[in-house]
Chains A and B, each alone.
Chain A
Amino acid sequence: MKTKQKSSGNRLKAYFSKPANVISVIFFIILIAAVVLPLFTLLLGSVTVNGSQEAMYVGGGVKNGDLTSHHWWELLFSKEYDYAKTVFWRPLGQSALMALYACAIAVIFGGVVAWFITRSDLPFKKFISTVFVFPYIMPSWAMAMFWENFFKNTQINAGMGILQSVTGICVPESLVYGFVPCAWALGLHYAPFAYILIGGILRNMDANLEEAATVLKASRFKILRRVTLPIVLPALISTVLLVFSSSISSFTVPFFLNKSSITSGNNFVSISVQMRSLVNSGFTKGQGYVVAIVLMVFSIVILTLNNRVTGKRKSFTTVTGKSGQVSLVKLGKARAVIAIILVIIVAFFAIMPLVSFATESLCEISGDWSTFTLKYWLSTEPFEGSAKGDTIGILRSTILWKAMGRSVLLSLCVAFAAGTFGLLIGYAVSKKRGSRLASAVSNMAFFPYLIPSMSFGAVYLALSYTDGFKWLNGTYLLLFIVGAIKFMPFASRTGTSAMMQLSGEIEEAAVMMDVPWSKRMLRVLFPIQKSSFISGYLLPFISCMREMSLFVLLIPTYTALATTVLQEYSRTGLTQSANAINLLIIVVVLVIQFVVNKLTGASIDKGVGGN
């Protein structure tokens, strides 16, 4: 008996002597607590009566808290006024299609640019690479607003846009509002994301693999199909997963780009707009939760696909520690033409929105330069009748600077936590690839991404009103915890992709030299995949800096963060100040990215190969 106990004790000891096992177990427990809780709350909300307003809606004498299948039945099957079809099925189908289009645009645009930057002798790489990530730093609605401002025209009674005023061209309404512009705005917003993920892999790919295929007389297309694509496939699927999940649940873009009349045929009510409407009404909260769950199921399907690719050992080690080389494809005569086209396209979608923010903040009336003013930047006199003095020029506003400082600090902390968690999860998953525990940790680490921000915030709001956790209510620690968990998926995906590329031999060599685990991580593994790991830190940072929905329920006051001040100004009609803050947030992110670049030598775009 004693021998048996000793033996199981030894097995346990041996099991926990491996860092990957320790990390897997620890994160399994953390994620159960931090992720399963909101998931469970959503599921429970979809089968219970949420408040007396909803009880009245459900009818039949049900009371608050009672179990009910009404929300599911109503939303999925109700034929009264075509309810299920109008509110759920049609918007879901259209939104899924829109998300697929957005994926295609993001992957093709981002992937092609990544290939040119990493694998060709294209000129102006630094410029293209630096500027290409701008749209991702902006909030997605910024691209939507820019799209409208550029393409709107008087023929559709939407006012004169930039294109019409410059060229006189009036595009049809279907290119200004509705399904197509939504897909484009989202695709362009997430293209940098595809660029970062795919580019990171391409950059680290040893050209010997492709050259070996060339020596074997494989055609260019065959090399692309049989060598390059399989290598970037995990990153490609991660991109599709992230872009699809974000696009299908994106609220702001369909909200901004849906102004057409119902009879025009361009009216597009997305599932996210329906979900927001359902959740915001006290009568139909449960139905909103049902939509959130269905959206998650969509993403889970893609996640499963992703696991099949990475889990069944179909990913490829590209960083072996042995000498590798990157030989660039010579573009020949097309070099200059391609470069000019890319510079124009990238500059257009990345810089023009910033210019539009700047101009909007400098005119009393949008586009009317006769009303030019610096008031919204520099005024020391309160405007908008504020006696509290917080609606002065944003550069003079201590309230805004304090909010900006808190945003930066919060984002740095969130990025550090999320990035480190992601890196550790990536390590554990790559080492324990194929095991159930690793698979569970990997999947759970991605779940926060699938839960709508507002719902995620709402769960933690309720938690902060619960005994034992009331000390968290209204604190920045709560914002930090929520941010770190919500943005962990970015880091865990990039961490896992990067770790998967590393050959086991590299760490094994260090193990044989008796190098401790922490040193192996910090001195061996991290430096090799530094660019990818830094992306894992920068992506949560950027996302946190521009996040609003996640924090809006949890902040003690609107002056807490830069984005909440922006929202308040936008809501109270101070659009010029709101635009100025938006621009300022982007500038701050770029400055911080620049500082990170100077200090560590890494950055998002450099990770891809911009330098």
Chain B
Amino acid sequence: MKNIKKVLAVVLALVMVFGLAACGSGGNTTPANNDSGNTAPAEPKTVEEKIAAAEKMTEAELIEAAKKELEENKDLTFNADSLTSGVKKVAAAFEKKYEWAAGRIVYNSRKGSEYQPVLDAAAKADQYVADFVMIQDAAFLKFNMLDAGFLLSYTPSGDEFKFNAGTTDPQVGVTFNKIFLWNNTKVGKDQLQNVWQLTGVDGFSLKGLHNASVQSPLSEDINMNFFIMMTSPDAVNRLTAAYKSYFGKDYEADAAYKNIGYKFVADFTKNIAYWHKSDTSEVKELINYADDGRIVFAGLAKLKDYMGLESKPSVDDLTGAGWNADVEGFSGFVYNMWVLIPKTAKLPYTACLFIRYLLSEEGFQAGWGGQYGYYSANVNNKPIEGDQPLESWVKNCLVEDVDYIGSAYSDAQKFIKQQLGQ
């Protein structure tokens, strides 16, 4: 009986824990400031105010403020959450440059779809999640983070920084592009010239292609956004012109499709020969696709995985003709990754300095220098020699437009899923 009592006591203690869990689950609206474990430091200024102040500081003043902040909070580490490993390299370089921050910067790898629930939960509870976040997915950013006022922008100033309109609020860190890549050894560099070739139908001079490999929009959010953008007014204009060029006649509206973009999505989806599971792995496999010149839709940045292998063809073999940056219609998809500060950050000055460094030439080189497919929001930072400038990609590709995606999502994703589910 004594033993039963002991077991009973232990189990009752567990019941209390879980019981409390059940009782407490309903309320998640209490502000963060009351919690002793995760509170922001008891500063008179809010994070918003500190960011505003930082924007007015000189670099030296900001460095001083960040240094003071870290010294006053010796028990804290600066948490940088990002889905790109470039930030890890930036963090290492940052620690090297600012020795007083050495050992205090922690990089956390956070994949988009797995990180969004974490940000959502932190935003709802107004809780600390990190000091710096780098995320993609414009729709999530706008509707869940910016509208809720949870993620804030810091834009550095000075001669060394120059930003295009529309890239500072929210602050873009790096822009990416996904394009059509192939091994040109046998098929040649001119394989893909008009986007309608990807529907598999022959044009009057060019032949249809039947070897596209794409990651399914069902598992890759960015690709879903790309497919949705194919139905946008901008894509309609591009596709209509490319149609005329490819087929030698004007597009005649088809009642089965809302616009030419829908028709392209349907024809393109049916003609995709392979649904690869990882852009990284598929680009690595390009070496094996010499015979059929498989056209892989993937980030241009993924070339680093292909070219990183010593036994593969040299950079020149591929960069000379592995893709066409000027495909009639569109060459690919351009989307952003934003660098932002949660309003619950504990080290906002350090976050501002970190963003300033990331956007500087030195920071960009540390994170993404020498690689194709990375374009800094600071236009003073040029892409690698041999790559096109971002303006050129923007001109030749579909660009992620959060307003269009938000308004068209319901209809377009249903249509896309219908095509994928056939």
Q: Write the residues of chain A forming the contact surface with B, with a CB cutoff of 8 angstroms.
A: 19, 22-23, 26, 29-30, 32-34, 36-37, 41, 51-53, 56-57, 59, 78, 80-83, 86-87, 90-91, 157, 159, 255-256, 258-263, 267, 269, 273-274, 276-277, 280-284, 364-365, 368, 370-371, 384-388, 458, 461-471, 473, 481, 516-519, 552-553, 556-558, 568, 570-573, 575
C-beta contact mask, B152-164 vs A, less than 8 Å → 1, else 0? 0000000000000
- In contact, B116 and A282 (Cβ under 8 angstroms): yes
Given A34-B18, A473-B37, A571-B280; 20 other pairs, CB 8 A cutoff = A23-B11, A53-B406, A81-B415, A83-B414, A87-B417, A157-B211, A277-B217, A282-B116, A283-B413, A371-B311, A458-B117, A461-B121, A467-B30, A468-B24, A470-B35, A470-B127, A518-B6, A568-B109, A571-B109, A573-B302
Task: List B residues 259-294 near A (Cβ within 8 Å).
Answer: 269-278, 280-281, 284-285, 287-288, 292, 294
* Interface size bracket, B side: 35 or more
- In contact, B410 and A280 (Cβ under 8 angstroms): no
Q: Which of A370, A384, A466 contacts B24 (CB 8 A)?
A: A466
- In contact, B275 and A258 (Cβ under 8 angstroms): yes
Q: Are A261 and B7 also in contact (CB < 8 A) when A56-B143, A81-B414 are?
A: no
The residues of B that contact A465 with a CB separation of less than 8 Å are: 28, 121-122, 124-125, 127
User: How many inter-chain contacts with C-beta < 8 Å in the A-B complex?
Assistant: 241
Q: Are A519 and B410 also in contact (CB < 8 A) when A256-B277, A572-B85 are?
A: no
C-beta contact mask, B60-71 vs A, less than 8 Å → 1, else 0? 000000000000
Chain B's closest residue to A53 (CB) is B143
Instruction: Give Cα A370–Cα B269 distance, bound, in whole angstroms.
Output: 38
Chain A's closest residue to B24 (CB) is A468
Chain A's closest residue to B128 (CB) is A473
Q: Which of B24, B114, B280, B409 contacts A469 (CB 8 A)?
A: B24
Task: List B residues 364-422 near A (Cβ within 8 Å).
Answer: 406-407, 409-411, 413-415, 417-422
- Residue contacts A-B, CB under 8 angstroms, 24 given: A33-B18, A37-B25, A51-B120, A51-B143, A82-B418, A86-B418, A86-B421, A262-B270, A276-B219, A281-B413, A283-B410, A365-B312, A371-B311, A388-B91, A461-B121, A463-B25, A465-B28, A465-B124, A467-B30, A516-B1, A553-B114, A556-B108, A568-B109, A570-B278
The residues of B that contact A83 with a CB separation of less than 8 Å are: 414, 417-418
Chain B's closest residue to A85 (CB) is B421
Q: Write the residues of chain B forming the contact surface with A, with a CB cutoff of 8 angstroms.
A: 1-4, 6-8, 11-12, 14-15, 17-22, 24-25, 27-28, 30, 34-35, 37-38, 85, 88-89, 91-93, 96, 106-111, 113-114, 116-118, 120-122, 124-125, 127, 139-140, 143-144, 147-148, 211, 216-219, 221, 224, 269-278, 280-281, 284-285, 287-288, 292, 294, 302, 305, 308-312, 406-407, 409-411, 413-415, 417-422
- In contact, B139 and A282 (Cβ under 8 angstroms): yes
Q: Which of B277, B411, B422 contacts A262 (CB 8 A)?
A: B422
- In contact, A22 and B27 (Cβ under 8 angstroms): no
The residues of B that contact A386 with a CB separation of less than 8 Å are: 85, 88-89
- In contact, B275 and A26 (Cβ under 8 angstroms): no
The residues of B that contact A572 with a CB separation of less than 8 Å are: 85, 280
Chain A's closest residue to B35 (CB) is A470
Instruction: Give Cα A571–Cα B305 distance, bound, in whole angstroms.
Output: 11
The residues of A that contact B114 with a CB separation of less than 8 Å are: 552-553
- In contact, B22 and A262 (Cβ under 8 angstroms): no
Q: Which of A23, A37, A82, A462 contacts B28 (CB 8 A)?
A: A462
Give the distance to chain B from A570, nearest Cβ to Cβ, in Å. 8
The residues of B that contact A518 with a CB separation of less than 8 Å are: 3-4, 6-7
